[in-house]
Amino acid sequence: GAGVSQSPRYKVAKRGQDVALRCDPISGHVSLFWYQQALGQGPEFLTYFQNEAQLDKSGLPSDRFFAERPEGSVSTLKIQRTQQEDSAVYLCASRPGGSYNEQFFGPGTRLTVL
Amino acid sequence: GIQVEQSPPDLILQEGANSTLRCNFSDSVNNLQWFHQNPWGQLINLFYIPSGTKQNGRLSATTVATERYSLLYISSSQTTDSGVYFCAVERMDSSYKLIFGSGTRLLVRP
């Protein structure tokens, strides 16, 4: 079946612009995660949804970062007034829920802020 | 918070060689996953292995949860095995998020 998909795959923004990154999880997956991966490092947690409820947003680096999942399926990560330090790959992951905890990742969106 | 350490950080192999990658973690975990990040950045699931041993073709993995480590074995390496291998764990307090190690960068030469 289809995996996790993300769009756009690449985004170039000028400093100060707002961007929106989309994630389509695997159909039926209850849990959705956003991670940020800087060059040469492992992914780092940003935020977590269970259905439409955002249960953990402890990893969001500033109040310029906002995520939503209004119908418990597609999610959008929005970054306002982008800064150069926001340049990274943004990864989305989903998992089925229940007792099975394996997470499956999308291909990521590479954001470059000039 | 939980610490995840991977070794070695870098590894160069000749095609056909075998290797062992290690992941140490500092606290009890619910979940442990091994990933291969290919040159295009895609994280590919290799193993979901909070404990025990699993095998998939030329790859196998063992997690000894009581001693807080996991090993990934690659046998008869191929050039397509090149990339970064990540270990990631989920803490026992059900915080759900995965904590990643810094990865092992593998280059397999023909």
The DSSP code sequence of B76-92 is S--GGG-EEEEEEEEET
Q: What was the pLDDT predicted at B92?
A: 77
CA distance A27 to chain B (A): 18
Q: What is the identity of the amino acid at B79?
A: T
CA distances in angstroms from B67 to A11, A63, B25, B51, B70, listed in the order given = 43, 39, 9, 11, 9
Determine how β-strand A104-105 pairs with β-strand A109-113.
Answer: unpaired
Q: Quick one: pLDDT at residue B95?
A: 66
Å from A74 to nearest chain B CA? 19
- Which amino acid makes up residue A84? Q
DSSP state for residue A62 in the 8-state scheme: S
Residue whose structure tokens are 């935020």? A47
pLDDT tens-digit profile of B62-72? 999 999 999 99
Chain A partners within 8 Å of B48 (Cβ)? 101-102
pLDDT tens for each residue of B13-68: 999 999 999 999 999 998 999 999 988 889 999 999 999 999 999 999 999 999 99
The answer to whether B41 contacts A105, with C-beta atoms less than 8 Å apart, is no
Q: In the prediction, which pLDDT does B94 show? A: 61
How do residues B1-10 score in pLDDT, each as one tens digit?
Answer: 889 999 999 9
Chain B hits for A41, Cβ within 8 Å: 102-103
The parts of chain A modelled with pLDDT lower than 70 are 1
Q: What is the pLDDT of residue A97?
A: 80
Determine whether A40 is exposed, middle or buried from the number of CB atoms within 10 Å of its CB (0-12, 13-18, 19+).
exposed
Confidence at B91, pLDDT banded by 50, 70, 90: confident
Q: How long a stretch of residues is chain B? A: 110
